[in-house]
Chains A and B, each alone.
With several copies, the nearest count.
Chain A
Amino acid sequence: MTRSSKNRWKGLACFLLFLCLFLFTVVYTQCDPVLFWKRRSHLTDLLSGMFPMDFAYIPHILTPLFYTIQMSVTGTVIGSVLACILAPACAGSMDFPKWIRYVLRFLIQILRSFPALILALCATFLFGLGTFAGTFAITLYTFAIMTRLTYQDMEAASPLAYQALRTMGVSRFPAYIHGLFPEIAPSFFTNALYMLETNVRHSSILGYVGAGGIGLLLNEKISWLEYEKVGAILLVLFLAVFTIENLSRYLAALIRKECTLKKKYIKLLLFFLTALFVVCTITLSPPDFGRTSLQTMKNMFSGFLSPDWSFFFSTKKDGLFTLILETLCIAFAGTVIGTVFSIPLSFVNTRRFVPGSVAFIFNLLIIAIRSIPFLIYGLIFIRVSGPGPFTGVLTLSMCSIGLLTKRFTEALDAIDLKAYRALLAMGVHPVPAICHGILPQLKPIFISIFLYRFDVNIREASVLGLVGAGGIGAPLIFSMNQYAWEKAGAILLGLILLVWLIDMISVKINHIL
């Protein structure tokens, strides 16, 4: 009894601490629900401007969409394959040598800290303008994120079968491919397709490498207030996301052997997908090494390597420390709010807990939430709450809902429902059954998803910058625009350290819980 009540106190203490943290960040970022409520009428005025959509504009979108898809497909495939190969070496639950794990994780950490724009710039300075550079940037970016997601999945999956193979003397990699990968394959493929979708949606960087991407078009139409056209672009995006989402669901079900397909059709599907990849890859423009800009690259890296220490250690109002604190607070508040909405949403988003039609409707809703780019959320909320951190929190919350719901749903789809079903069979109401039959299993997974999103939100501080939300994003973008690489280097170093710290803390948290 004493131990159980001690545990309960510990849980309560953790919860209170968490709540305090949340309240602090809410106050620090000037979140003001009253203001939000008072000005709520402005929530819809921008959206309503998008109707009726300008259907005549859709043909203009198709070419950029094609380029975007082309680069995204190649980049996502190569990046994911690399991730699939390297992720097991990063997973703590596997017996790969520890030093490899630390080195790889560190590299991935650094790679993920670089805003996609910097990667794209590097790529163009190296390979010249063109789709090749864009693909390269997407590959790196996808690789970093996919590796992280995949090793996280591995750590959550049961290692028993893998261990069984290892004890038979199977070498690590084949044991991983046959003993563990089949269990995480559904979520691996959904993640990869999610990356494809993200790459298509956030393709603005592709414009900067000379490939036009649908992101630039969107930015342009938003800036020119041509909302009917924005609406048309969003519709196309929605359809793209919808297609990819359903493809990924079907694929996951196929892997879980929840539905079957004739061998013939599987071969056909494989052939089609391979053909798509090959076509996308060979139509890429070859790299143009004649015009590499090594000097700029050199400046960039020497800047990163000799960060601006006075800025780094400054404790003034415009010093790194204050900025990072603000970023942390915005990211934390945004992630928590996002999580609060995503957990229930993820339960109604899967056929395992609600009837198919309900799941379908919510699925549409979530796809809609996801297909709206953060810039639009930023603009919507800026009309409500004005520029400032509060807008950042709101925007991040909305962006988080997309990914979090997706990941939570995936975890729900993968989890073993035996215990839950056992409770239902005893006549327990579904909600408490979820609380006691599923949440304990999900807790570690949910916590790691939460921490992951938190870390993404910190890294995507540049996103915050774009919507005018304070934090470290704006100085980062600005120093990048000015080619003040020393300063950018200091900010990136700060981010890397911060994220590393959070990673350490999250490992500790996962240990305790």
Chain B
Amino acid sequence: MIPIKLQIQHIHKAFKNHVTALEDISFSISQGEFVSVIGPSGAGKTTLFRLLNGTEDCTKGQILIDDHPMENIRRQQKRQFKKNMSTIYQDFCLVENSSCLENVLTATLPDMSFFPAVLGLYGTARTEKALQLLTRVGLAEKEQEPVKNLSGGQKQRTAIARALMRQPSLLLADEPIASLDPVTGRQILSLLKDIQQKDGVTVLMNSHNLELSMEFSHRLIGLNNGRIVFDGSPDEINDSVIRTIYGNSSVCSLNKNRKDVGL
């Protein structure tokens, strides 16, 4: 496990169609933290994660990894950094035609040399491990099923198993439990918490389940309309914070306010 220090400095992201998804975001995460990003739909959470894992480039600002700006890092090191990071995508990003097991195994490709990697010769050790992980997320029997035949939650769990297969130092989890029932969801979060505590993995999560986010994280970052509006521990969350994060007209779900909302 190589510890990673992540600093985000004043990043902006505007898409080609002039939608500004993120504006002046700065925060830093130290190794071993469990941080949750929360915010309304369209706030820019997924975009933030995609910037962090390098799928998109930011328009302004910079991301520092162990104090080096990401764009200046030499290729070899960047690869190393990427190897230590894995992402659970909101839309899963699985290979639909491949089986569950194959998808999980692809996570070991970065550690393999070229030809075995191309030919997909994973070896028994890796396969064993992938099967174990699949069992842990409750997909042991779907091992050989092509991903396109899985239910929403099963796909999500495959994506989770793939991310964990990497044994990352930094785990970016974009809505990892959105499609899971409360019990499985809780189990998955416990699993994440577990690896965070035991192995010191940094977890940056993003979830619409406020309760679970508060329960499992050390720290919450509130995003609204592309800006950080809150950054603090779960204890600091209160009605007015919720209102700043989710918008003014919002009804605090903490209070379980059951009266109808004028939409």
State the A residues within 8 Å of B (CB). Answer: 1, 3-4, 7, 160-161, 163-171, 173-175, 177-180, 182-183, 185-186, 255-257, 260, 418-419, 421-429, 431-433, 435-437, 440-441, 443-444
Contact = CB atoms under 8 A, between A and B. Distances in A.
B20 to A, nearest CB: 17
B85 A426 contact: yes
Given A418-B93, A425-B53, A174 B114 contact: yes
Contacts of A3: 143-144
A312 B102 CA distance: 49
Contacts of B149: 257
B95 interface: yes
Interface of B: 17, 53-55, 79-87, 89, 91-99, 101-102, 106-107, 109-110, 112, 114, 117-120, 127, 131, 143-144, 146, 148-149, 166
Given A183-B96, A418-B93, A425 B114 contact: no
A164 B98 contact: no
A502 B149 CA distance: 29
B144 to A, nearest CB: 5
Contacts of B54: 167, 424-425
29 contacts: A161-B95, A161-B96, A164-B89, A167-B54, A167-B87, A168-B110, A171-B79, A171-B117, A173-B117, A177-B120, A183-B95, A185-B97, A255-B97, A257-B148, A257-B149, A418-B89, A419-B93, A425-B53, A426-B110, A427-B83, A428-B109, A428-B117, A429-B117, A431-B117, A432-B109, A436-B106, A437-B95, A437-B106, A440-B95
B80 A169 contact: yes
Contacts of B93: 160-161, 163-164, 418-419, 421-422
B95 A167 contact: no
A474 B139 CA distance: 59
Contacts of A165: 106, 109
Contacts of B101: 4
Contacts of B53: 167, 425
Contacts of A424: 54-55, 82
A159 B97 CA distance: 14
A178 B109 CA distance: 9
Given A7-B144, A167-B87, A425-B85, A435 B118 contact: yes
Given A4-B127, A441-B97, 5 more contacts: A1-B131, A4-B144, A167-B85, A182-B98, A427-B82
Contacts of A421: 55, 93
B127 A431 contact: no
A174 B112 contact: yes
A431 B146 CA distance: 22
A15 to B, nearest CB: 12
B82 A178 contact: no
- Point out which of A170, A256, A426, A432 has the most chain B C-beta atoms below 10 A from its C-beta: A426
B86 A440 contact: no
A437 to B, nearest CB: 6
A185 B97 CA distance: 9
A160 B91 contact: yes
Contact of B95 (A4, A432, A441): A441
Contacts of A166: 82
A422 B50 CA distance: 10
A174 B117 contact: yes
Contacts of A182: 95, 97-98, 102
A182 B96 CA distance: 8
Contacts of A433: 109
Contacts of A441: 95-97
Contacts of A419: 93-96
A444 B96 CA distance: 12
Contact of A164 (B79, B87, B99, B120): B87
A260 B102 contact: no
- Point out which of B94, B95, B143 has the most chain A C-beta atoms below 10 A from its C-beta: B95
B96 A178 contact: no
A159 B106 CA distance: 15
A427 B106 contact: no
B80 A168 contact: no
Contact of A170 (B17, B55, B102, B106): B106
A422 B46 CA distance: 13
Contacts of B117: 170-171, 173-174, 177, 428-429, 431-432, 435
Contacts of B119: 435
Contacts of B107: 168, 426
A273 B205 CA distance: 48
A477 B204 CA distance: 66
Contact of A436 (B80, B84, B95): B95
A186 B96 CA distance: 13
A30 B82 CA distance: 50
Contacts of B144: 3-4, 7
A394 to B, nearest CB: 29
- Point out which of A163, A175, A180, A444 has the most chain B C-beta atoms below 10 A from its C-beta: A163
B97 A256 contact: yes
Given A175-B109, A429-B110, A436-B120, A168 B86 contact: yes
B170 to A, nearest CB: 11
A168 B18 CA distance: 29
B97 A257 contact: yes
B133 to A, nearest CB: 15
A327 to B, nearest CB: 33
Contacts of B109: 165, 168, 170-171, 174-175, 178, 423, 426, 428-429, 432-433, 436
Contact of A422 (B17, B87, B99, B118): B87
Contacts of B131: 1
B55 A425 contact: yes
